[in-house]
Structure 1
Amino acid sequence: MFDLLLSGFVTLFVILDPLGLVPMFLALTLGAGAAERRELAFRASVIAFAILAVFALTGPMVLEGLGITLGAFRVAGGLFLFWIGFELVFEKRNERKGRSAIHAVDEPEAADIAAFPLAIPLMAGPGAISAVILLAGNLPTVVGKAGLLLVIFVALAATFACLALAHSLDRFIGATGRAVISRLLGVLLAALAVQFVADGAAALVGTSRILLPNS
């Protein structure tokens, strides 16, 4: 189970992409002081944790209620995560997230950027939700669910730390450093996504064999 939780942490951390969030966070909080930025980052992390925790606890039941097998969701979710990895490698994801950030800045009626767009969709977006549901399906026990919640907490705590130190990190890492790290993480996520698809396909093949009548 430890290996699965470790793999889940890596997957979720890559999807959250804390270093990629840093420049967008700075743009959203332009003119804010360090204390205000920390407060916004904390609130966004708490909201994102609540959203991901709900899907971690209820996601498999929702799939079962909709008649979707875990194998089918693994294939679909794996393909979706592969696309996110592709976006990271070719720097398309930051462009898309940047458009969401700019939209929030341009909307004066946006009361709380911690909820939108920081928590949703920049942190607890479709990719993170899909990854959490995939992991929850592989951890059906109470201990497994507790471990998954811990993984979500640690991943978001790391994200909060990056956002709280956003100004210093942005100056230290620079645009080149962020680009290199994002590409490496994108390749890693693509590999994990392929594994999800392979596991899902194997599960679907096994299920079809059981359902086929004996010849």
Structure 2
Amino acid sequence: MSALFIKAFLTLFVVMDPVGLAPVFVALAGTRPPFEQRRIALRAVLVAGAVLFAFALGGAWLLEHLGISLAAFRIAGGILLFKIGFDMIFAHRERETEEEKEEAVHREDISVFPLAIPLIAGPGALASVMILAGEARGEPLGVALVLGTAGLVLGLCYYSLRLAGYLARLLGRTGVNVVTRILGVLLSALAVQFVGDGVRVLLLAE
């Protein structure tokens, strides 16, 4: 169980990237009053949590009805995670288009889009939580552990949003870039592991 917790925590922490959320939040909501920033941060985390928990609990049922094996989804998720990690390393992160970014700045409520989706509960996070929940079904309380770990990382995301201004000033642009690139390397390694595990299961099933 400890190995599952460490794997789930590292995967979700890297994918959701609480540190990287800070400068984005400053850019989108830095000029708003503190009480409004708190409201936006709380709502964004709650919406993202609801989406992630739904995918963790219902993801296997969805895959079954679509005729997709967990191994195939693990490979697809690994490829997607590698793309995200690659973009993080080379600063080519494309969580939203320029038009979406411009709209988000002027949007009245930014908590659902782009904060909750796709910044927190993005494709990589959804794929990760589904894979982790699938791996944990053979373990007692495994799914509960994955959900609890997701809740822990979501809590870190919330406090990162709350402390966004302070973190941005503390780390500076260079510090944020360094942390993002380190997390990108870790995410790429985890993605390769996901693909390797999925390929092995498919080959053994033949």
The answer to whether the 8 A contact 1:72-1:200 is kept is yes
TM-score w.r.t. the length of structure 1 is 0.90
Instruction: Please list the CA deviations of residues 117-148 of structure 1 after superposition, one character each: whole Å capped at 9, or x if unmatched.
Output: 11011111111101111111101156111111
Indicate which of 111, 115, 130 corresponds to 1:114: 111
Indicate which of 199, 206, 213 corresponds to 2:204: 206
Q: Secondary structure at 2:141's aligned position in 1?
A: helix
How far apart are the structure 2 equivalents of 1:202 and 1:115? 38
How far apart are the structure 2 equivalents of 1:32 and 1:164? 12
The equivalent residue for 2:177 is: 179
The answer to whether the 8 A contact 2:74-2:131 is kept is yes
The equivalent residue for 1:12 is: 12
Structure 1 pair 96/58, CA: closer, same or farther in 2 (3 Å)? closer
1:195 aligns with 2:169: no
1:49 aligns with 2:49: yes
One-letter code aligned to 2:70: L
Instruction: Please list the CA deviations of residues 27-82 of structure 1 after superposition, one character each: whole Å capped at 9, or x if unmatched.
Output: 21142122221221111001100100000001011111111111111111111101
Aligned-residue offset at 1:98: 7.3
One-letter code aligned to 1:114: S
TM-score w.r.t. the length of structure 2 is 0.94
Aligned length: 204
Aligned-residue offset at 1:90: 0.4
1:67 aligns with 2:67: yes
Q: Structure 2 unaligned runs (5+)?
A: none
The equivalent residue for 1:39 is: 39
Instruction: Please list the CA deviations of residues 82-132 of structure 1 after superposition, one character each: whole Å capped at 9, or x if unmatched.
Output: 111101100111x544734333124xxx44211111101111111110111
The equivalent residue for 1:128 is: 125
The answer to whether the 8 A contact 1:75-1:200 is kept is yes
4+ residue segments displaced more than 2 Å: 95-103
1:78 aligns with 2:78: yes
Q: Secondary structure at 1:112's aligned position in 2?
A: coil
The answer to whether the 8 A contact 2:30-2:165 is kept is no
State the identity %.
48
Larger Rg: 1
Instruction: Please list the CA deviations of residues 144-164 of structure 1 after superposition, one character each: whole Å capped at 9, or x if unmatched.
Output: 111111011001100111110
How far apart are the structure 2 equivalents of 1:46 and 1:33? 20
The answer to whether the 8 A contact 1:24-1:98 is kept is no
The answer to whether the 8 A contact 1:56-1:132 is kept is yes
